[in-house]
A and B are shown apart, each in its own frame.
Chain A
Amino acid sequence: MSSTETRADLIVVGAGPAGASAALAAHRAGLAVVLIDEAGRPGGQVWRAPAAGVAIPEALRTQDDRDGAELRAAVAASGLRFVGDARVWSVTGRFRVDAATEAGTEAFVAPRLVAATGAHERVVPFPGWTLPGVIGLAAATVLLKSEAMLPGRRTVVAGCGPLLAAVAAKIVAGGGTVSGLVDLAGPADWLAVAPRLARRPRLLRQGLGWMIRIGLARVPVHFRHAVVAAEGGEAVEQVVIAPVDAEGAPVAGTRHRIAADALAVGHGLLAGAEIPRLLRASLRFEAEAGGWIPVLDTAGRTSIAGLYAAGDGAGIAGAAGALLSGRLAGLAAARDAGALAEGAFAAARDRILAERHAVEAFAGAVRRLMRPRRGLVDAIAPETVVCRCEDVTRAEIDAAVMAGAREVNQLKHFTRCGMGPCQGRFCGDTAAELVARHVGSREAAGVWTARPPLRPVPLDTLLGDFDYADIPVPKPAPL
């Protein structure tokens, strides 16, 4: 029954800036490369391609769209094998990658693997965050880029980091109304990182462009504010915001109610290190870099021979950082496969590391703005749902800790928190923070054990057509 296996020298999972550049670099060095993504075309989050049949009007096209088109052209011209619309659900051995496609499941085998699966969004729960109409800030960028669709007619954009301005500006450009921009940071926080942002003039200009657009549209901007509730019957109708301190904890001051039919909210990004976690590579916790990230050498090698990690999945560093770390991981794979001489590799590596050093200041500033804020977590009300798949509230998490759960996997058994289809991708960071409050540190609170599938997949897709006789039933258990 075993699925057909495609062999290669290198498998790259994730075709964002990191994965695509890893694949291109390794392919150019002579490796047979398979690049896999659940999206239909390369581009990842930042350079996401519009969905089939969606045309982005020329006036709305940005530098990101042009960079994405360039990346897609480079992959297409290279001759490396790109497998799109393929959701990687299992990674085993050293290494077999199983992907679910429309046609069924397909297996790929290679001695080397680059994990470049990007980031996912952190949303710290507040009352009403599960109402229809409330979406992630990053998810809003996906909607805008790939479907050219507005989140709502009147949207509140809230949270932290540059995605705030990016989303608000795109909504305005698309003809929507932003009825409030709610930023956890204050003008002073932005000023503090401004010199580091200025190290990437093009991106700084892009950011200023967004701000001008937002200013011209007279979007009310609320600095040092947080969403404390989304209210509504069937869907969000209004958003309540309150002034906060530097750590995101609500402070005394006027609460505003903003009428809206959509709320795009995000509190930073979490590194998507599922593959290194699944393969039991060494991890370390670094809050600003996106939580639990793989321990890497300078070229992106994990603690497991043949496994490399790059891009936001190895620590949040933005598109430019992802591009460089991906290229480096691809070259390291080529080097380790014997396709690249040590001298040539070392020279390329040193050049890339120097370039990375140059973009690091900017990335650090962005990480700073998107950093997790303690006060936001502390402010979660007891009755607020933290795990939306299994409806577990903060009170239930606290009670489980009181009942003796010392780490997140025990918490899972006590409450079902993290047991749903998202396997803790949405609640994991918050749940671990809450446990850490009692046990002292995130290291002590631990990390969910990674389980397949990496994404929920329909049984139908996994099973394909089969006859009963095809099922390799093992020999009967003893009587």
Chain B
Amino acid sequence: MTPVPSRERYDLAVVGGGVHGATVALFCARAGLRTILFERGSLCREASGVNAGTLTMQMTRVALIPYALQAHAMWASAPEWLGHDVGVVVCDGLSLAFTEGEAELLTYRAGKRREAGAPIDLVGPARALEIEPGLSERVLVAGHCKVDGFANAYLTGLAYRAALIEAGVTLCEQVPVAGAVPDGGGYELDTAAGTVRARRLVLAGGVWLEEMAAWLGLRLPIKVLINQLAVTERIAPVMRTVVGIASGLLSLKQYPHGTVVIGGGWQGRGDRVQGGVELVPDSLIGNMRLACHAIPALRRSRLARAWAGLEAETRDALPAAGPIPGFPDAWICGSVHSGYTSGPFIAKRLADRILERGEPDPLFPIDRLLAPEAGAAPSAPVAEAPLS
């Protein structure tokens, strides 16, 4: 049952129970902060529960590679720090090129990611087939990364729910927050369970960060991607690695229970008010064709289910993670590209900042993203955010 929030001021209020909000709340609560977490629906049932679960460097933005590597290690040891299993499998990953153009793109991108620290090698078709015997023979060249893998994203909520409760977080599911304003001693939140006060505030609303920032009078434009995914029925093993493509528009792996999840960010229809309203059949078919081109044996399976989820993207496609300018003790955490992979580590670093622990990490402050007042000249987008 949903606990009744206390009238006393909490040390920290987190709004949004995706992987970002839940991780911040978890580490802060374990460090002793009296923490309350609000989730409008059920924990991790938006992007953080419906995503493809791929934990890959080869789709991660270069600026995020250092975070993604650390986060990968966290996912791989989830039972140790989270205390619960999210079905993480660590395996090799391949990013494929089928055309000359893709080979060029792949070579360039793999190089950039390697410079950022991702252990990616380029391999020829024969070696690629050794690594992934299910692979099509039409591959020209492949990026190979040994630090890859996947999780069962749908288990995220179950795992975090238990961990948060064990850590003593006041977990308010099905409790939307309608606003938050400074009140002298911190922030006052207008919630479906009444007014709640906290000394510190973290906004972790995924694609709804734009609305949340508006509570404080800030305009933080967030683009909404409507990512489609498809899953086959359980089939005998057809692959053992995570397979992607140079352009980033394919993510493919087979789960131990036999289903194959096909993703890659092909777009459906929807918006942040209605959610992922519907799938576009042509784009679903395009994504599945790409998948079967990569792993031909997949063609023999049946499509069991397909869905769409909402992913947030900032103007420069880099995270919104850091303090909220002009609002002491208030932070934002989200909009991380391939944010399931990197989320736990970025959120943990934010928790460290809140707790004033260790080397402060500037993360990806949102100053660059805040839209100028009407009439003012637009500020230049920041290409690469600072990274400690």
Query: Which residue numbers of A lie inside 8 Å of B, CB to CB?
Result: 1-3, 89-90, 92-93, 96, 98, 105, 107, 278, 280, 403-407, 409-410, 412-414, 416, 419-421, 423, 449, 451-453, 456-460, 462-463, 466, 468, 470-479
Contact = CB atoms under 8 A, between A and B. Distances in A.
Contact of A459 (B248, B278, B292, B305): B292
Given A421-B304, A456-B302, A458-B301, A477 B247 contact: yes
Contact of B162 (A2, A403, A468): A403
Given A403-B158, A474-B249, A468 B99 contact: yes
A466 B296 CA distance: 13
Given A3-B282, A404-B161, A468-B293, A410 B42 contact: yes
A478 B317 contact: yes
Question: Majority SS of interface residues in chain B?
Answer: mixed
B265 A477 contact: yes
A2 B299 contact: no
Contact of B112 (A92, A405, A479): A479
Interface in B291-320: 292-293, 298-307, 317
Max chain A Cβ within 10 angstroms of own Cβ: one of B99, B112, B248: B248
Contacts of A1: 282, 285-286, 289
Given A419-B305, A452-B279, A462 B285 contact: yes
Contact of B42 (A2, A406, A419, A468): A406
Given A423-B305, A453-B303, A477-B59, A468 B45 contact: no
A453 B49 CA distance: 20
Nearest to A98: B281
Contacts of A414: 157-158
A478 B154 contact: no
B62 A479 contact: yes
A413 B281 contact: no
Contacts of A96: 281
Contacts of A407: 42
Given A453-B303, A459-B301, A463-B299, A471 B289 contact: yes
B109 interface: yes
A262 B306 CA distance: 35
A421 B235 CA distance: 11
Nearest to A422: B304
Contacts of B98: 468
Max chain B Cβ within 10 angstroms of own Cβ: one of A456, A460, A462, A470: A462
What are the nearest 8 A-B pairs in CB distance?
A477-B248, A476-B247, A456-B302, A413-B154, A421-B304, A421-B233, A478-B317, A92-B278
B290 A471 contact: yes
Interface string B270-284: 000000011111101
27 contacts: A1-B286, A89-B303, A90-B284, A92-B269, A92-B278, A92-B281, A96-B281, A280-B277, A406-B173, A410-B45, A413-B158, A419-B154, A420-B304, A421-B302, A452-B284, A456-B303, A459-B301, A459-B302, A468-B98, A468-B138, A471-B286, A471-B290, A473-B249, A473-B286, A477-B248, A477-B265, A478-B317
B191 interface: no
A232 B229 CA distance: 40
A425 B157 CA distance: 24
Contacts of A3: 281-282, 285
B159 to A, nearest CB: 10
B337 interface: yes
Contacts of A89: 303
